[in-house]
Amino acid sequence: MELGRRARSVTSLEYSHKFCVDLRLKIGAQNVVQGDAAILPFASGAFTAAIAVLVLHHLRSVEAQDRAFAEIYRVLEPGGVFVALEVDDGWLTRVAHFRSTLVALAPKSAEERVRAAGFSKIELTSRSGGFRLRAERS
């Protein structure tokens, strides 16, 4: 299959050393990098897309989330796409995160914060229990 001018590959970023090992050994994932979404260990413009599935609310503060938005913007190439899936705040979410980090993002506020990081063409899709954000790097 024609993949275009350069080879496409997927890189997984994971904070936990144990989960990095699991990704490599149990799933056979390649290109697993241990690191913090708020300080991405990648070159600027390195990626065509970034996807954060149920990760952002695990960052320890609103400031760390905003740093992550800025970092994701930095590592995307112009026109690159960022997609985030997040849970809504609520009692079920809070119970599920007992003994775990939960810094819930309100959908509209998340949209504004992603815009403040420089993203445009932002689409917010809400569903029962959560929401999806899609945005493009300018």
* 3-state secondary structure at position 60: coil
Instruction: Please tell me whether residue 16 binds ligand SAM under the rule CB under 6 A.
Output: yes
Which CB, 10 or 54, lies closer to ligand SAM? 54
* Region for 124 from its dihedrals, namely left if φ exceeds 0, alpha if ψ lies in -120 to 50, beta otherwise: beta
Instruction: Please tell me whether residue 55 binds ligand SAM under the rule CB under 6 A.
Output: yes
Instruction: Please tell me whether residue 88 binds ligand SAM under the rule CB under 6 A.
Output: no
Cα–Cα distance, 55 to 117 (Å, whole number): 18
Instruction: Please tell me whether residue 58 binds ligand SAM under the rule CB under 6 A.
Output: yes
Instruction: Please tell me whether residue 97 binds ligand SAM under the rule CB under 6 A.
Output: no
Q: Which residue has the tokens 């590959």?
A: 9
* Spatial strand order in the sheet of 76-87: 47-53, 76-87, 130-136, 120-127
Instruction: Please tell me whether residue 37 binds ligand SAM under the rule CB under 6 A.
Output: yes
Question: Contact residues for ligand SAM (CB under 6 A)?
Answer: 13-16, 19, 36-38, 53-55, 58-59
